Chains A and B, each alone.
Chain A
């Protein structure tokens, strides 16, 4: 019954963070393995809680390297297991605290496939379960949050492109929607933190919206928001200090299945009851369009930020330029990199560009390329040679294209010259999240599988245009904390560094 193991916690980002003491312990239920100083005591496992057993840091993690998930994150992860959720539900006063559940489209696809049903059937059964079992008030998809996230990201990008800062530093901005990448950047590449586009992810915005809606309707009650998300890093995101009051707990589809089993529930019972046509409308928060939040948008299956930015760029062109512009998708040096380039067909100029990039190896090349010591910083110094990007294929400068249409096939992706890079830690993005119910298979097959999923994803949901929906004035922003080089380290931490 092991759900969380060291391998799962990897989540594709190199576990490269030295063990640190947690900076903050939330007051939610913490297992008794944490002493009063907030340190994680090892070895004092009384074996009471089965779910906790596998999450315990083993000493082999501790000793093996300075690169495991930090103990603080370990604790944050524990605060988020489905066991915690169940306990919270059992302890709370159901008259005062109500439950809302949000679920990402990647999870819906994964779980519908797992149960062998259509997305619609799954959604209804899912809603039915939480309504009957936990008396939930809201069950939502994340598209509303995503729309806002996309719109605000584009807004910030446009502001940035006009700004003074852009003149000095035109390095691409990076998406902050993948919390694994954000934490990695904060902790190990602090000089890249300024490049993070400070817009919250769909998960967080959805949580915030749920609270806002709920508080309007039930001002004297409180809301507990459970998110069902594709990977474990999403749990870390919900536990960030700047995420308070948004999402209380995140579980993955794997844990959902385990939870059902623990509760003695059979999900097929709810699937059979799926002729309840109104359930989704009933569970929709007041004032929300009942269909919209279950949709998806065009672009990558991890949010489509890069693509939507380019679409928005094109739309904001004057009509005559718009007519002679074209969005070209350029494959990168491997299938985890691609660039969307808005090109003026007549002149051959690049109007704007945004890229998608995923997987640790690509993130590595990217961070090395973008770090301050590189020569592509205007006026930057270049003390030592660093790793530079290798151009595998022939490069043809876009501006020298004369035979326009034909030459469009010879373009080479240049993600580091984009305005924006949508970064995902998992190769292939959220559809490859480690919490999903994809069957175990060799990595060769897995890659083919992810590609199939990508196609399925776009065919399985109704598609809406995120740019064409209501704007939201309230900004949803993170507070990034670039790690400072640690001077004072306690002896336990130092002892762990070899």
Chain B
């Protein structure tokens, strides 16, 4: 009996990896408004079970949504006189009239990210040592991905992904984690706060690995390290 869950993984066939199924539209049949459907989908993200009591209680749903609201950046009257025209074009100065600083995604419709999407982004990352992907090696698994996203581009969203490394060697676990982080940071909008953890009980130094994987400064510096970037690039080559 091996000490580590994933020491000798059964390699999963690519075809058998979980993928997005057709939307089960039955759930939404009886709901009239588009809005309500959207809200229900949102709720599904928070509370995965379609049988949830809350789902059937729209009032409660509305209250829940209100709690999620973060106040917009309040625009106030400018207390300093307006800028000089000689402020260069090299950089933009925003006065306080602008209420929304991140407007890159403002035009996109609210489209919350779900577990499948995160899985799709990460499962095809190649393991740093073997010519197999993280999905095939069950390093990344659907049940170990958590997504909390309301789809609103002006709200923060959270992703927690737990990985199950196949070997105990810490530096490879950190490489895998780094690969996942680079992939997700590139693919997802900046509102996402990504937490990558080693699944409890799968690694005898998980605390240290977790700390390293979630230290933004360490990660940023790693991404400026040519050798590391090279390894990570190779890992990401197999991604679609």
Contacts and interface: CB of A to CB of B under 8 A. Distances in A.
- A–B touching in complex (CB under 8 Å): yes
B129 A63 contact: no
A495 B172 contact: yes
Given A491-B128, A491-B129, A498-B178, A62 B227 contact: no
Contacts of A58: 205
B100 interface: no
A63 B209 contact: yes
A492 to B, nearest CB: 5
B6 to A, nearest CB: 15
A43 B175 CA distance: 18
A43 B208 contact: no
Contacts of A497: 225, 227-228
Interface in B153-194: 168-172, 174-175, 178
Contacts of B75: none
A456 interface: no
A42 B227 contact: no
A64 interface: yes
A42 B3 CA distance: 14
Nearest to B212: A63
Given A491-B128, A494-B231, A63 B225 contact: no
B80 interface: no
Contacts of A43: 168, 204-205
Contacts of B175: 491, 494-495
A58 B174 CA distance: 15
A456 B178 CA distance: 55
Nearest to A62: B170
Contacts of B221: 498
Interface size class of A (residues with CB under 8 A): 10 to 19
A489 interface: yes
Nearest to B234: A491
Contact of A498 (B169, B205, B208, B218): B218
A400 to B, nearest CB: 50
A479 to B, nearest CB: 29
Given A495-B128, A495-B171, A64 B227 contact: no
Interface in A468-498: 489, 491-498
Nearest to B168: A43
A498 B174 contact: yes
Contacts of B205: 43, 58-60, 62-63
Chain A CB count within 10 A is highest, among B129, B170, B204, B209, for B170
Contact of B228 (A59, A62, A494): A494
Most buried by B among A43, A491, A498: A498
A498 B231 contact: no
A323 to B, nearest CB: 62
Given A492-B169, A492-B171, A496-B171, A59 B204 contact: yes
A493 B128 CA distance: 12
A498 B204 contact: no
Contacts of A489: 227
A444 B139 CA distance: 51
Contacts of A63: 170-171, 174, 205, 208-209, 212
A59 B172 contact: no
Contacts of B209: 59, 63
B222 interface: yes
- A-B pairs, top 3 by smallest CB distance, nearest first, are A495-B171, A59-B205, A498-B222
25 contacts: A43-B168, A43-B204, A43-B205, A58-B205, A59-B208, A60-B208, A62-B170, A63-B209, A489-B227, A491-B129, A491-B171, A491-B231, A492-B172, A494-B171, A494-B175, A494-B227, A495-B128, A495-B171, A495-B175, A495-B228, A495-B231, A497-B227, A498-B174, A498-B178, A498-B221
